[in-house]
Structure 1
């Protein structure tokens, strides 16, 4: 059963220089996790989430406003995609059990995943890479090789699946069509609906943070878009490469990004701090965002002394709140006394 969701074949429009666009759909089935949905599917393009489905809500939800416009021509689109995901949920649930048998496992926590997608070059109109791969408990299980049109089995337990799928020529043709034809077609169509949103640039809030006076100073930038950005320290106008620690670009819940870079100042005299500055650069924005190192603007976790008057006031407030809570609890107790109321690889 082919469960590839075409709504996920979306384009990245970060600028004229960026011609490689990426789509990926991640499906995760789990067992032994009582507080986690047994199936979750997330659609991503260039690290931006575009839709979501899970076994608790049992419906596909768009995560970008332009995704709604993208599918206005087909009123039944989201309903049909929900049915596809529900079917995929059943298949992956069965696949977990098959994988557990292959690895001679019974209980415990297990994760089965599938990732489908492509990287596409809009200048050559060709697919650079196609993705169709499965994983079990955090390790590769089996993947499709577009060049040889065969399946690669890195685990002995997947060999039986490889033999079965290599002989399914109809399904191989379907996968090839999805990765080489449908992907670029839907990438082009999405330009019409998503360009205004995807071409935007959002500058971050930049802060200087420090856990303690002896800790490195962290320059933290959050809320920027797109993710093609850089953050670094420089001294006297020259970028620093020593005594710095670069963090990864991370996602924010609203679709923007965050990143940080630490600077070790343990051997730098206080009078030299003014020579340092943190620089943020965003693709498509000519002007850099520069934050000069200044002890006065550093946010820190170091405790500040509290005078006696402040301490006394806090104690009085806490005592008053405690009395109020006891009164409410007593009243509630009184009222209570008064009686007030996928393709399945199984062979």
Structure 2
């Protein structure tokens, strides 16, 4: 990261019996460029949203920006202890504090995490989404290119959103037909602040992640299952019918006619 800034802001309320509530705002701080070691300082006082007083770094005094602030300018500049405080603050205190804060939080302030880039699509005719996630810091550029050029139509950019782990995510959606992207080179480009590497995902069929499945195999499986079930049902019905027919015959009773009695006695010799 090239430079750092330390800034303080505050808001106070001024109450006047005849005019209600007024707002007093103050903002002061400093910045430092790590490469050039150039520093800048600023101090401002606002009243009801307008710049009222401003600290002059050359004269080391406060200057009014509104006629109504002349009395405050004279009062602040006549206070030697106040002027000494701001002189020391802008010349030394603010920069020292900025350096300490940068050294203390350097691992966080200068941390970079590369993104994970995926191409997502619900159906073959839905927009193709380029989803970048898990990157840090927040600054990111995600865009589509067609044959090396940035398409300005049929592209919808999402917002940069935070993840639960402190990283960020962002998506951009491209509306394009399969014939169009198969005949042209479409690619998603991701650039993250602080990372020199550019992350590119070329739109190809193998790169697309989707939950969509071809319904034809499922239909064939369903039809096959229904046919098999019908065969089982028919088999069961035929078996039941055959069983009922057999059960109606039952046991054949023994014959009790005279003829049968006579026949049964044949071959037996009487004595």
Distance 1:136 1:196, change over 3 A: same
Where do 5+ consecutive residues of structure 2 fail to align?
A: 122-126, 211-271
Q: TM-score, normalised by structure 1?
A: 0.44
User: Residues 241 and 205 of structure 1: is their aligned pair in 2 closer, same or farther, counting only changes over 3 Å?
Assistant: same
Whole-Å separation in 1 of the counterparts to 2:139 and 2:62: 34
| 2:72 alignment partner in structure 1 | 161
Say which structure, 1 or 2, has more relative contact order (CA 8 Å, 6+ apart). Answer: 1
Contact 1:118 1:179 in 2 (8 A): yes
Instruction: Quote the residue 2:20 is aligned against.
Output: 106
Alignment of 1:126-205 (within 5 A): 126-127=38-39, 129-204=40-115
Q: 1:164 is paired with a residue of what secondary structure?
A: helix
Aligned-pair CA distance for 1:288:
2.6
SS at the partner of 1:203? Answer: coil
CA spacing shift, 1:97–1:280, aligned 2, 3 Å:
same
Shift of 1:22: 1.2
Aligned residue number for residue 278 of structure 1: 188
1:97 aligns with 14
1:242-297 deviation per Cα after TM superposition (whole angstroms, max 9, x unaligned): 4478788788897655666676x5xx655324633332112443433334568976
Aligned length: 202
Q: Retained in 1: the 8 A contact 2:160–2:168?
A: yes
Give the C-alpha shift of residue 201 in structure 1: 0.9
Tell me what 2:144 maps to: 233
- CA spacing shift, 1:130–1:192, aligned 2, 3 Å: closer
| Separation in 2, partners of 1:145, 1:246 | 43
* Pairing 1:287–2:197 present: yes
Would the aligned equivalents of 2:14 and 2:24 in 1 still touch at CA under 8 Å?
Answer: no
Change (3 A) 1:160 1:249: farther
**1:222 shift after superposition:** 5.6
CA shift in 2, pair 1:206/1:183, >3 Å: farther
Matches within 5 A, 1:59-74: none
Q: Which residue of 2 aligns with 1:213?
A: none
Instruction: State whether residues 113 and 136 of structure 1, in contact with CA within 8 Å, keep that contact through their aligned partners in structure 2.
Output: yes
Paired residue secondary structure (2:143): strand
Q: Counterparts of 1:194 and 1:23 in 2: how far apart (Å)? A: 13
Instruction: Check whether the contact 2:134–2:163 (CA below 8 A) recurs between aligned residues.
Output: yes
Structure 1 residues without counterparts, runs of 5 or longer: 1-13, 30-91, 211-215, 299-347
CA 148–287 in structure 1, closer or farther in 2 if over 3 Å, else same: same
**Helix, strand or coil at the partner of 1:144:** strand
**Structure 1 pair 138–232 and aligned structure 2 pair: CA distance change class (3 A):** farther
Aligned residue in 1 for 2:135: 224
CA distance in structure 2 between the aligned counterparts of 1:284 and 1:126, rounded to whole angstroms: 21
Alignment deviations for residues 37-85 of structure 1 (CA, whole Å, 9 cap, x no partner): xxxxxxxxxxxxxxxxxxxxxxxxxxxxxxxxxxxxxxxxxxxxxxxxx
Deviation at 1:120, TM superposition (A): 1.0
Asked if structure 1 preserves the Cα contact closer than 8 Å seen for 2:145 and 2:188, the reply is yes
TM-aligned CA deviation for residue 221 of structure 1: 4.8
Counterpart secondary structure, 1:185: helix
Name the counterpart of 1:22.
5
How many Å apart are 1:114 and its aligned residue?
2.5
Aligned match of 1:122 in 16, 28, 34?
34
What is the CA RMSD across the aligned residues, in angstroms?
A: 4.4
